[in-house]
Amino acid sequence: MSKAYFLTGTDTEIGKTHTACALLHAWRNTGLSAVGYKPLAAGAERVGDEFANEDAVRLHAASSPGFSLAEINPVCLPEPIAPHIAAANTGVRIDLATMLGGYAQLQSRADRILVEGVGGFCVPLDDDRDTSHLAMALGLPVIMVVGMRLGCLNHALLTAEAIEARGLRLIGWIANAITPDMPYLEDNVAALRSRLAARCLGVLPHGLEPGQAAAHLTLPA
């Protein structure tokens, strides 16, 4: 069976997919096969008879060969808005079973599976569930991406608390420099190192391609 991880972020637009692609490159650089899985995406362009989400396309490119885009992203909603609103506008219900089934189909086909959530850790899926329910259903160890900007310390600490409160194990976090000039970047990273029990798996400099960023990561044990 594959080793698998759930990747979440402290917010939206903080480089979660960029970091996921860097992790996939890092695993593949060690000779392992690896696939990124985006069970749910909101925001897509029509390509032929299907919709293609940009993040899913990036994960597909960074993954080992042999996986289709539909396998990597089984639930794709066209509007780039909150998933529960996008689903309501399309007249569909986000089906947890579909997302779990897609993950099960990948389990024997790669050495590493990285499941990327959508937005932050508790993004609503419908009136009763959010993305934390998907993480709990999968039961995987969690890696948290911290978008390094003003407010990230609070966001990171609250996200870590939410993960642990749901009985999940935060095994590592990655600081992603989303701007080239965040004041006191090193001091903010140091504050997180001292406050988070989980291991820092790397600090990704701004402006690198995922293949280059992979060199700045320590893979989870």
- Catalytic center residues: 38
- 194, amino acid identity: S
Q: At what angle do helices 16-29 and 54-62 cross, to 10 degrees?
A: 10
Q: Is residue 16 within a helix (H) or strand (E), and if so which, with residue range?
A: helix 16-29
DSSP state string for 175-198: EE--STT-TTHHHHHHHHHHH-SS
| Rounded to 5°, angle at Cα 122 from 51 and 90 | 30
Ramachandran region of residue 20, left (φ > 0), alpha (ψ -120 to 50) or beta?
A: alpha
